[in-house]
Amino acid sequence: MSTDASGVGAPATGLPGGLLTEIDHVAIAVRDLEAAITWYGEVFGATVAHREVVGSDGVEEALLKVADSYVQLLTPVRDDSTVARYLETRGEGIHHVGYRVADCAAALQAVKDHGGRAIDQAPRPGSRGTTVAFVHPKSAFGTLIELVEE
Ligand code: CO
Q: If you average pLDDT over residues 17-42, what whole number do you get?
A: 97
Look at residue 147 in the predicted model and tell me its pLDDT.
98
pLDDT over 90 (residue 47): yes
For every residue of 29-60, DSSP letters joined together read: E-S-HHHHHHHHHHHH---EEEEEEEGGGTEE
Tell me, in angstroms, the distance from the centre of ligand 1 to residue 16's CA.
23
To the question of pTM greater than 0.85 for the whole model, the response is yes
- Residues that are catalytic: 25, 61, 72, 96, 146
Sorting pLDDT into bands at 50, 70 and 90, what band is 1? very low
- The whole-number pLDDT of residue 16 equals 83
52 has a pLDDT exceeding 60: yes
What's the 98 CA to ligand 1 centre distance in angstroms? 5
Spacing, Cα 14 to ligand 1 middle (Å):
26
Please give the mean pLDDT across all residues of the chain.
92
Q: State phi, psi for 131 to the nearest 5 degrees.
A: -115, 130
CATH topology of domain 19-149: 2,3-Dihydroxybiphenyl 1,2-Dioxygenase; domain 1 (3.10.180)
Distance CA 43, CA 52 (A): 23
As residues whose CB is below 5 A from the ion ligand 1, the structure lists 27, 98, 146
What average pLDDT does this structure show over 123-149?
96
